[in-house]
Amino acid sequence: MNRHPIPWSALRPPKPRPADEFWAEFRQRIVGVPRDPPAAATALPAWTAAGAIAAAVLVLLGLWPNATRPAAAGLILESLDVPADHRGVLVLQDAAVPGVVVIIDGLQAADEQGEGGP
């Protein structure tokens, strides 16, 4: 069995390089090394997403009666009756200005209404 003696010089630790030289070489090498793109934004924790979804569902449920009615877009007159004597009624509504105007034409004061009657 042949034994090859290891030279003493190989067992000694290498002589440390000057720090400036080491880091200068390091910076030169790092320039050409491709690096991974930045990681995508981390997703929200599962409990936060679940909470947000649950809140959205509950809010929608709370608003449901309003949202399902066709009147959600505006005011609706479901019935209109003018028992006092009058000539006519005009209901005005358009999309330009929100709201409804009801014009009662020919409505007389209460004391005038009885005049001329039996």
Partner 1 sequence: MTRCLAARWAVLCLFPLAARAAELDVRVIAASTAGQQVDASLRDIEPLLRRHLNFTSFELVKRGTIRLPSEGRPLALGDVAIRCLGGQERLAITIEQSGRVVVQTQTSLRHRHPLVFSGLPGPRGTLLIALLLR
Total site size for partner 1, rule CB under 8 A: 44
What residues contact residue 107 under an 8 Å CB cut-off, 6+ apart? Answer: 82, 84, 85, 86
Does 75 contact partner 1 by CB under 8 A? yes
Instruction: Name residue, tokens 């790092």.
Output: 30
Least CB distance from residue 34 to partner 1, whole Å?
42
**Calculated CA dihedral for residues 67, 72, 73, 79, nearest 10 degrees:** 150
60 membership: H or E segment, kind and range: helix 46-68
The helix/strand/coil state of 91 is strand
Instruction: Pick from 18, 38, 99, 118 the residue near partner 1 by CB under 8 A.
Output: 99
Give the binding range for partner 1 (CB under 8 A) out of 1-9, 16-24, 28-36, 72-80.
Answer: 72-80
Does 25 contact partner 1 by CB under 8 A? no
Instruction: Pick from 94, 115, 116, 118 the residue near partner 1 by CB under 8 A.
Output: 94
Contact (CB, 8 A) for 106 and 87: yes
Interface with partner 1 (CB under 8 A) = 51, 54-55, 58-59, 62-63, 65-66, 69, 71-72, 74-84, 86, 92, 94, 96-113
